[in-house]
Amino acid sequence: MPMYQPSNRREADMKLDSQVLDLETAVKDGILGGGCGIISTGFASQKLDLKIMIEELESIDVPPVFICPISLEPMQDPVTLCTGQTYERSNILKWFSLGRYTCPTTMQELWDDSVTPNKTLQQLIFSWFSQKYLAMKKRSEDVQGRVKEILENLKKVKGQARVQALKEFRQVVQAHGTAKKTVVENGGVGLISSLLGPFTTHVVGSEVIGILVNLNLDSNSKFDLLQPAKISLMVDILNEGSIETKINCTRLIRMLMEGNDFASENVASLSLLVGLLRLVKDKKHQNGVLPGLSLLKVICSHESVRNSFVNVGAVPQLVELMPELNNECLELVLHLLELLSNIPEGRLALKDCPNTIPNVVKLLMKASENCMQSALSILWTICKFAPEECASIALDAGLAAKLLLVIQSGCNPVLKQRSAELLKLCSLNYTTTIFISKCNLTRTSCFQEL
């Protein structure tokens, strides 16, 4: 049920609001529709259900006088108390059932607990919602008709006319939920998908991708779009298109890959990996970072792709990104680096990147527990891989003090255990005295944890 949200309304709504308190004037001026639940318009004559109309118009701004002060929802059966205040019948009766014989709005004690049906207001509410509902249905049918026209037109037109038709189609699909359903029901997905191919221009391809990414694609449609020629075109457009097109390509490829265990190896070309790294590093367009990292997470969930990702220089580029990211994106980057640390090439790249350990150490006790879990896993892996070199760098970066903070905090016990293990690992190449001196720790705190 919709909650009342005050906002600026259109002129027609404001006119209604200015008259709504004077119900007699509203009736005389013809604002009320024909009673008994039948509304006649030039569009249709229908028997309408107020409850259904309220539910389907949940996002619309409702005049305050239609709102029950108790539930803050539109009234369907308004009744008036002796104080002159009006409420939804079920809400005020529930109020009375709790032993409260006062007016909820004014808190006056009631000298008469009877309720009087406010038929005039009920009719006004019904009329207002009916007009909005029928207008919405009319717009919906207009949209459906326009979608069908464009689909038929796309079968015939070529060149610039096709581009213009696709632009309009994309705008309609983005703006209207009913358009998406109409596209699917009229075979539009197959028609639009058929426009992608080895000879498709990037202008046409960008518009097609902008449409497809807004549709619900079934398994057959996804299978068709995973054809090498179509994927190749998407990757080319991702590398060369506008930021909006890049994001649309990224989202569409992710849609095609999710739930498809065989897609990653077929889709994850070096060109795609390079394009996604460029997208997430684009400082001018931060809105591309999250979609790019999300797709990389899907791609790298398959171990066979990780070596290629390392080979295109992913590790140092992701490490350099970390200080600038919000928590959601940071979790994705750390998850990717943790996955790469599980292969020899990834561990070597992490060790050789000079900022890996300093940037990861800084996150401890500053990021979410998910981030810290990945950070500790990365540090453990590379310190175990090259203990003499990496342990020294980690201790110089302040790792020991951070680990002690984790151990002594209220963090997850798993994080505490991993921190204690990592602290012990870093101490193996030093005498106790040197280790304590190097970490700037007191002997008591160090012995307690080691």
Residues in the chain, how many?
A: 450
What number of other Cβ atoms are within 10 A of residue 184's Cβ?
A: 16
Q: What is the CA radius of gyration of the chain?
A: 32
d(CA 165, CA 182): 16
Is 326 a residue whose pLDDT tops 80? yes
Average pLDDT value for residue range 284-305 = 92
Q: Are 340 and 315 in contact (CB under 8 A)?
A: yes
**Closest among 231, 316, 330, 214 to 272, alpha carbons compared:** 231
Whole-prediction pTM value? 0.68
Identify the DSSP state of 116: E
Please identify which residue in the block is written with the tokens 């005050």: 6
Three-state DSSP at 171 gives: helix
pLDDT confidence of 396, banded at 50, 70, 90?
Answer: confident
Three-state DSSP at 166 gives: helix
Average pLDDT value for residue range 400-425 = 85
Average pLDDT value for residue range 316-321 = 95
Is 357 a residue whose pLDDT tops 50? yes
pLDDT confidence of 337, banded at 50, 70, 90?
Answer: very high
Higher pLDDT, 428 or 98: 98
Three-state DSSP at 86 gives: strand
Helices (H), 313-408: 314-321, 327-340, 344-352, 356-363, 369-385, 387-396, 399-408
d(CA 281, CA 318): 9
pLDDT confidence of 361, banded at 50, 70, 90?
Answer: very high
pLDDT confidence of 426, banded at 50, 70, 90?
Answer: confident
Token pair, residue 44, equals 């249709």
d(CA 216, CA 188): 11
d(CA 365, CA 111): 62
pLDDT confidence of 395, banded at 50, 70, 90?
Answer: confident
Alpha carbon of residue 408 to chain centroid: 36
Is 11 a residue whose pLDDT tops 50? no
pLDDT at 287: 93
Name the phi and psi angles at 79, rounded to 5. -130, 150
d(CA 114, CA 125): 22
pLDDT confidence of 46, banded at 50, 70, 90?
Answer: low
d(CA 126, CA 118): 12
d(CA 46, CA 38): 6
d(CA 203, CA 162): 10
Three-state DSSP at 361 gives: helix
Give me the amino acid identity at 201. T
Is 448 a residue whose pLDDT tops 60? no
